[in-house]
Every structure is written in structure tokens, then in C-alpha cells.
Structure 1
Amino acid sequence: MATPSPQLEAALASFAASGASQDQVAQLRGALVADPKLMQQFDQEAIAGHLRGFALQAANSSTPNLTGTYNIQSGVVTLPAIGIQSTGTVANSDLRASLQVQQMSIAFARSAYQDAARTSHPVTQDMVDNLQSTINGSPFLADEVKKAATTIDQSDGQRPKRAQLEAFGFLGPGMAAGGTYDGGNKIMNLPPLGLQSSSATNLHGRFNDRDMTFVLGHEIQHSFNHASKAQATQKFLSDVEAQSKVRGPIHDYTDELRAYIQAGREDEAKAEIAGWNALLSQQQRINPHAGLKAMQATQIDRVNDFVTTNPLTGVAAGKQGLTFNQDGSLSQTSGNIAAMGHHYFDRPSPLYSQPGQRPVGIGEHRNAMGALQPTADYPNYYGTWGIEQILQAEDRANVMYQGARPQVTIDMAALGLKEHLIENEGLDRGVNKSPFPYQDTSTRPPTLHHFDHTQDGSVNPAHDHTYVPVVPSAPAATGSLGPDDPAHPDHRMLEQIRSGVRKIDESVGKPYDDMSERVSRSLLAVCKDNREAYPAAGDRSLADNALSRVDHVVMGKTGNVFAVEGRLDDPAHRRVHV
């Protein structure tokens, strides 16, 4: 059995010196020794000088302490009285859970965050105090945090398996959200300014204990939802992979996206319910009779997704579909989850909200000045990632059907998706950054659109997290659209050429990019009127020499690219080059 380092032994000795009994010291020591990983973490903090002692919450203290507190300057962890028994040497589960939370608190206190200019700053005691007082101020939240910190995620791929929550971290400066849960790293990320108190020396601080309570309750629920959400995500990826390989004229991804977005809707709805319960618990600690009216009095905007006021009577009432328990809490029933999915997840983007609706803006969109101005609603926030996976799967599969790639179709309106919001959010096309054509089947007939790469400015600096609108062009005399349109007579040949050029790119480890697209379109032009391939032809027509299809695209030794109709070993094959 591992033993504490001399530095950790000194911290344990300070606990005895602070007035703890021998039994209480034995409980603390036993809780650490029983968990080798936890003791190693505390050992490291003690050796680094970050942990110098333990103390027990004073009996006459009126400050809530349900999970413990940590002071950066003294290096002392103050344990909650409920976790230490007056007699006995065996540690209870509450002490073990509080130690897990305090290990995260010490690590958080020694971390750093980035401001809007991406300058790093160390975490302050104010930020630590605000985080810990928020957790300690809500019995429901404190229990959920301790539960997440001690519940092993059985779906975790790492060995040994990790707990649902292992650390607190920060949102980056390029993200607008109340908080996020990173299931891959088991980290809850919070906004730096949201943990900073407003003061004369920090006018940008916006800590609000009520809002932070709701956020923490919301995000901690995501940790409990993680396994089922990960399972739904894996099914989505498997279904997309299968669809991308179907050899047929149409690849319709509406159903795959619908299932993925619905999994997100349920995940977010459950998290909102947990946020409500955390805030209600905080209010009922202050006033045991607090209910819907008291929740409205918190003036937290999030409460408006749950409660409405009768304009005639002024009486607060739950929103349609929600069934509150007698104490005002909400259970995770199917009816409540469905109702919260509607009241929260389905709120519209600020760009599309109608009078009387409650808009929501999340994500990474920036305005022309580079400042965050989030425009995504939840369906499009989730949909952006889903679309990225579909386009990348299509590029990997590169299926050809009757000489052309299948049409990708999506019923955008049925899913609540808007290309405008998706490209504003920052669509990552992956290695292949060329615009991707798709048919929006929510119109009759379906409408041709393109998804553009907007995750950064690598294609065009003006496209960074910005919608790329369709540039209207004058229609040809026949009224037909360009060869990107599946109805255009040259569309199939263009897809045949693109497929061949993409294979050349892949053979040399190069992505299909703007240059690849220019080569493809140039080849299409000479396939239809290959005059440049035969400069001695003069003015006579070369229509008889035009290609009717492209079976191969090959790179010549001199750098020319050839489009070939027929077998490569057939002397009678037709070919053109650029």
C-alpha cells in the first residue's frame, strides 16, 4: 500500500494541529490511502507547495460548505463538517467525494485562462471562491458534482476508466456559451468572466451566483448524459458512413441528421431540467418555501424557458407541457424532456426570430470587427458538426454511380437547418475545401446549394465564420444553370472529371482544392471543345472529336492532365489535355 509523501504527511499533521481528533485524522488519511490515484494527485500538489494543510469547517460557521474550499495563499483545504465524523476511523463516502472535488479545485486554482486578446492570466482567488461558493450554495448541485466526481464512466475508452468529471477548465475566447462539458477529457469548461466578480478594478467581471448555479447544474448533467449521447453520435457516424457508400443516384441524409439532432435535443433538455433543479435548491436553502414565483424573482433569463406570467392575474405558471413536483422541482420524465426540448432547444436564432419569440445565439460567429456575435441556434449548432461529417464521408467514399457522384440531399426546413447559420458557425470541409453541392429537398423542385468552407480564412479571408451567399449569375440563353446543377447536360462529365482529379490529388497526398477545381473545369471545357489540344485544326469544327464521357484522368510526364474516353491501352481512345 502506498504511503503519503513527507509533504503530504506535513499537511495531514496540520489537520491534527488545527484541532482535529486522532479519529478524524485517521478518516482523512484512510480516504487518501484507499484511492491510489487520488493520493498521488494530492502528493503532487503537496510536493509542489500548493497543498500545505487541511482544516475542518468551524462549528459556528454560517457559510455553506458542502464540498470543501481551497485557499491559494495558505494552501489549505477546508473540509465540510458533514464529511468528517466525530468518532470512528473509517472515512465515509461524502469525505471521499469532497476530496475528489478539492483535488479539482486545487488544479483549477493553479491553471490559467485566455482573455479576448488570447493573453494568458492566472486564476485568482476570487474565481476559485466564486466557483466553490456556487457549488456549496446549492445542496442539489453539490450532490451532483460529488456524484460526477466519483462515478466511473463505464463507457470510457481509457484504462483505468475515468470519472464523469475530472477537472474544471475554461472556454476559449472564440466561443460564446454559458459553459460546455468535454466528455472526451472529462472537463467542465466555464467562461472566465463569468467567474470574476465585477469591481472598480474589473469592470468586465460578470459573476452571478444564480446564473452560475444554473450553468453548473446544466453542464454536470451533460456528464451523466455522456454515454448515451456518445452512443447516438457513434450510430450517426456509422449510418453516415454506410449511406456515403451506397451506389445509387441519391444520398439523402435527412434521417441521419434528424436522429443526431434529436439526441442533442434530449441531451440539452435534460441538462436544462438539472439546471432548474440546481437553482431551485439554492433558492430553497435560503427560503424553504421558494417556488415558481421565487424563481422568477431571481431575474435569471434562463428561468423564462420554464415559467410564464399570466398577464391578467400576475400569477407565475409553468410553461406548457412541464409537470412540476410539489416542491417545484422537475423530474426527468419523457413529457418534461420533450417540453424542454421545445422551450429551450428549439428557440430561434437572433437572425430569424419573430416578435414574441425568445431568440438564442451560441457558437463561434464573429462580426466584421472580429468580435464574437453568435448567431447559431441549437439545431444549427449541432447540425454544423453533423454536416461536416457527412461531407467528409462523401469525399472519402468518392462513390460513382452511372459515371457521376450521387446527389447529396437534405430536407433543411424539416430539420430546422439553415445554410446561413451553419456557415456563420464555421463549417470545416476538412482536407477538401472546395464548395460541396447539395440539393435542399424542402423546396419543390429541390434547390441546388453549396456548403462552403468557413471554419477559417484559408479559402478566402472574408469567409472566416461567415455565410458565403450565392452570387447570382446571368442565365444562359437556354435558361440552363451551370454544370454544378444536376440538370445541366455537362454535370455528369464534370463529376467524372472531379473524381479523376481527386484520385490524382490523393496519390500525391494533396487535398482537392481550388486549383483542383480549376483543372477540373478546364478539362471539362476542352472535353466539349478540344480546340486547344489540336491547334493545327484551324477554324474547322472539332465537335466530332469532343468527348462524350470521361473514363480516366491521368497526369502526363510533362505536367499535363489528360481526360480519356475509352481504355488507356486502346489506340482508338479519345483524349484531351490541359
Structure 2
Amino acid sequence: MPTLTPEAKAVVDAFGTQPGVTAPQLANLRATLAGSPALIDEINTAVKDGHLKHIVPLTNPHAGGEYASTTQSMHLPLKMLDNPASGSYNTGEATYVLGHELQHGLNRTTTAQGIVDFSNELTAIAKSPQHDHDYTVPVGKFIANYRRDEAGAEISGWNAVAGAVSQEAAAHGKTATIEDVYKKNPGRMSNFVDVDSSSFPPKYTLKPNLEVKPDLSMEASAKNLEGMGKNFFDKPRGAPSGLGPSGNSDYPNYYGASAIGSAVKFERFYNPATPGKTAPEFSINMASLHLSAKQVAENGLNLGPNKDVMPYLDKSTTPSTPANFRDSSVTHTYSPTTPPVPHTPSLDQSTHPDNALYRQTLDAVHKVDAQHHRTPDQSSDNLAAALVVAARRDGLSQVNHVVLSDDKSRAFAVQGDLSSPFKQMAQVQTAQATQASVAQSSQAWQQQAAQEKPQAQAMPLQQDPSQTQKHAPTAH
């Protein structure tokens, strides 16, 4: 039977000196570790490799446990280690939590490399000459990095519980079963085991997207990691058993808030607002990443030193929907995407600052309509408005011509003579432009104008994995 190394024993003993820790709680921690060979092996390895230096009391009320990579410390809820009012202490919850959090420590180096890769991808997009700076892919990879980390931690939690159950069964001359593992901690093991209560006795079977060895141990295989990513990380959560300051977040939005905040900081540093220069568009497909603007805000979206709203295009819809990210690092509250604002005239109204350019562009669009033997309609108005936005974006002050590509998939606003080598052009996708209403393009024009105001910028901190790595706490 494995035992704690002297170094691991010293870390465990030091927990007993922490404020608020009682002698019975320390004794129950020791008993939990001794009851699972898998836990003994894991804590010995974590201490030996420098991933675990401290065990301290947990202060987060919305967590069942935490691992802090910056201090290599595991945070445990003291209540979990209390003796019950009657009966004996049940090690089921502590066994799972210890296995889960210790694995976060063992994953520390791999997870940190994912953060370095994320920073490099943010830099590449922020420095791109393209007008559309789409951060969907790197944000998705950032979330996936932590999805693998959490799935691996869950598998470790299973192995800790399965090891304890197997040791208990062997002491009585029996062989542990899936049912035994489930009953050791029904709340946690429900992510692994299906219970069919339609018959008596109930049937306990491993979920079909998972597999275990004959001794009930579970490998961190591709199948099992994906299975626990689905069963645990992707699972919807609500208050009070969720994550975040309000206890109402799921895992994707918990990590997504951190990723989006980093993307905004990089975008603003590499693209400071410059008078006369149109800033690139910040875009992201929130729906494809299973992100909610409301949950992201409630997790505390930190935009960095510049707290101004960050306009972005949400590519979850066609055409994309203009919206704003607002700093909520202090308030943890969500502001509506389209808050009440002073009325701004539409591009097709005479009081709009760019109505003259809109009228000029509309005349050019009508000429294209005539060339193709079609009657001007709402699509013509929509196209003209979208071309005005594109023209201002690309620095045009006039639109002397509108032309279509050979396949009509793109429309071009042209300033100058069509045959001149000095002409200036701006383009839009014809289908999207004709579907976007004049009101939508007017809103995009307004946001584009707001982006052009000077803003003081601050350099994003170098992504030091030891300082930036943030693990979600284990959900209740």
C-alpha cells in the first residue's frame, strides 16, 4: 500500500496550522488520502514535481475546491472535512475534490503552454492588415484548453473515488463495481454513471461515451477526455450551483470572459485610435462558442486600463449584429447590448452628417439597377447605405461609381474615374449588404465614427503563464 513521502506529509501537516483548521479536519484529510492509493500516488507526484506547495482553506462560496497555479496551492472547503453530527465521516466528497484539484496541478505546464499559444494568436490577429479582426478561433482554443484540463481533472476525481472503493472492497474480500463507485459520491459520480431506476434493484452503467479498465480505473484517453468534456464542462449550470461571482455561470462563459478581455486588450494596444484612420472591426461568433454576453459580463469582463466600451460584430447572425463589450470587472453586471441612446438620424435622412454621400451613392446604385433592368427598391437603399459605411471605413470621401463583380457577389464603391490608376475603392458582400437595413448600416456608421475618437492605450502585460493561468473552481 503506498504511503505519503516525507515531503508530501509535510505539506499535509502544514494544512493543520492554517487559520480555522481543526484537529478533526486534519485527521479527516489524512484519512481521505490514506483511503485511496490513487490519491497517495497523485499527491506524492504533485509535491515532488513542484505543482503542490500548500493546502489552504477555501474562501470562495461558489466553489467545491480550487487550485491556484500562481502559488501552487490547493484550496479545500473546511466544511467538507467536518465530522457529521451523527455517524462516521464519509470520505466520498473529499476524495473526489482532492483527485480533481491535484490533477489541475499536474496539468499546470500543459495548460500554461496553451496560454502562451493563445497570446501569440491574439498578437497575430491584432497586427493583421485585414479590416476584420475575427477572434473566434483563438478564444475557442483558449476555452478548449481549459475544457481538456477540466475533463482530465474529472477523470482524476473518478480514479480517486474508484481507488478508494476498490481498497474498501478488497478489505472485505470483494470486487468493487460501478454501483459501488456511484454510491460513494452520487452527486459527483452522476457525471459518469447512468442509473436506471425503472427496475429493482436499479441498474448502474457507465455512460456510453466513457470506458474503464477491469479494475475500474479510467485512462485520460481521447474518448474519455471528450466524454467528460461533454458530461462536465459543457453541462448547463445555474445559481446557486454554478461558477462565477453570482454562482450562475457555466464553464465556457467562465473562461470565455477571461479570453475576451485579453483579446480586447491586445486589439486596443496594436490598433490605437488615430484621427483620420478607421480602426479594424473586432468580431467574434458568440453562438459558435456557446457564449452569452450576459454571462460573460456577470463573470467580470476586464477590458484593461481603457474602460471605454468595445464595439464588436457578433457573427452569430447574418448579417452580423453590432454590439458592445462593457467592462464589468467591478460590477459583475450586464448592461443591455443596445442601451437607450440619444436619437441619431438615419443615413437616408437629410439631418444625417453623411446624407449627401448616401444620396450620391444611391444615385450610383440606381444606375447599376438600370444597367441590369431592375426597378430600384429597398435592396437598393440597403446597398447604398452599406457602401457608405464601407467607403468611410476605407477613407473615401465621394462615391462616383458603384460596380459589381462579374459574379455579382461583391459591390464596389469607387472614388475617381473607373480607368484611373489613382481611383479608390471600398467593397461589400452584395448579399449581406442588401439584407442589412438602412437603420442597421446607420448604427454601424455611428459605431465606426465613435471608434475614431482618440483613446489612450496601454500595453497589455506580457503573458507570463505563472501569473495569468486561471483555473475555474470545481463547481458544486
TM-score by length of 2: 0.70
> Considering only CA atoms, is the larger Rg found in Structure 1 or Structure 2?
1
2:8 to 76, 82, 101: 101
CA contact (8 A) 2:46 2:106 kept: yes
**Over residues 10-65 of structure 1, what are the superposed CA-to-partner deviations in whole Å (9 max), with x where a residue is unaligned?**
xxxxxxxxxxxxxxxxxxxxxxxxxxxxxxxxxxxxxxxxxxxxxxxxxxxxxxx9
Aligned to 1:287, the other structure's residue is in SS state helix
Q: Hey, what does 2:190 align to over in structure 1?
A: 304
How many residues matched? 362
Extract unaligned runs of 5+ from structure 2.
Answer: 349-436, 460-476
Task: Evaluate the alpha carbon distance shift between residue 315 and residue 501 of structure 1 in structure 2; reply closer, same or farther with a 3 A threshold.
Answer: closer
- Aligned partners of 2:178 and 2:119: how far apart in 1? 41
Task: Evaluate the alpha carbon distance shift between residue 338 and residue 411 of structure 1 in structure 2; reply closer, same or farther with a 3 A threshold.
Answer: same
CA contact (8 A) 2:323 2:338 kept: no
**Over residues 113-157 of structure 1, what are the superposed CA-to-partner deviations in whole Å (9 max), with x where a residue is unaligned?**
xxxxxxxxx32212211221111111111111112111x3xxxxx
Q: Hey, what does 1:192 align to over in structure 2?
A: 78
Percent of aligned pairs with the same residue?
30
* Aligned ranges 1:337-486 → 2 under 5 Å: 337-350=225-238, 361-365=242-246, 374-399=247-272, 403-456=277-330, 464-470=331-337, 472-473=339-340, 478=346
Q: Hey, what does 1:133 align to over in structure 2?
A: 31
One-letter amino acid matched to 1:247: P
Aligned to 1:176, the other structure's residue is in SS state coil
| Mapped pair 1:219 → 2:95 | no
- Aligned partners of 2:209 and 2:267: how far apart in 1? 40
| Higher RCO (C-alpha under 8 Å, 6+ residues apart) | 2
Task: Evaluate the alpha carbon distance shift between residue 451 and residue 317 of structure 1 in structure 2; reply closer, same or farther with a 3 A threshold.
Answer: same
One-letter amino acid matched to 2:166: Q
Aligned to 1:489, the other structure's residue is in SS state helix
- Aligned partners of 2:438 and 2:267: how far apart in 1? 22
- Aligned partners of 1:102 and 1:428: how far apart in 2? 39
Aligned to 2:83, the other structure's residue is in SS state coil
* Aligned ranges 1:77-156 → 2 under 5 Å: 98-112=5-19, 122-150=20-48, 152=49
- Aligned partners of 2:306 and 2:283: how far apart in 1? 19
* Aligned ranges 1:242-253 → 2 under 5 Å: 242-253=124-135
CA contact (8 A) 1:434 1:453 kept: yes
1:281 to 163, 166, 173: 163
CA contact (8 A) 1:384 1:425 kept: yes
One-letter amino acid matched to 1:468: S
TM-score by length of 1: 0.58
Task: Evaluate the alpha carbon distance shift between residue 405 and residue 197 of structure 1 in structure 2; reply closer, same or farther with a 3 A threshold.
Answer: farther
Q: Hey, what does 1:529 align to over in structure 2?
A: none
- Aligned partners of 1:479 and 1:171: how far apart in 2? 56
- Aligned partners of 1:396 and 1:254: how far apart in 2? 19
- Aligned partners of 1:147 and 1:399: how far apart in 2? 47
- Aligned partners of 2:236 and 2:89: how far apart in 1? 26
* Aligned ranges 1:505-524 → 2 under 5 Å: none
| Mapped pair 1:290 → 2:147 | no
One-letter amino acid matched to 1:276: W
**Over residues 195-229 of structure 1, what are the superposed CA-to-partner deviations in whole Å (9 max), with x where a residue is unaligned?**
333449xxxxx985201100100111112211111
Q: RMSD of the alignment, in Å?
A: 2.9
- Aligned partners of 2:26 and 2:176: how far apart in 1? 28
Task: Evaluate the alpha carbon distance shift between residue 229 and residue 482 of structure 1 in structure 2; reply closer, same or farther with a 3 A threshold.
Answer: farther
Extract unaligned runs of 5+ from structure 1.
Answer: 1-64, 68-96, 113-121, 153-162, 201-205, 352-358, 366-373, 457-463, 508-578
Task: Evaluate the alpha carbon distance shift between residue 486 and residue 269 of structure 1 in structure 2; reply closer, same or farther with a 3 A threshold.
Answer: farther
Task: Evaluate the alpha carbon distance shift between residue 483 and residue 166 of structure 1 in structure 2; reply closer, same or farther with a 3 A threshold.
Answer: farther
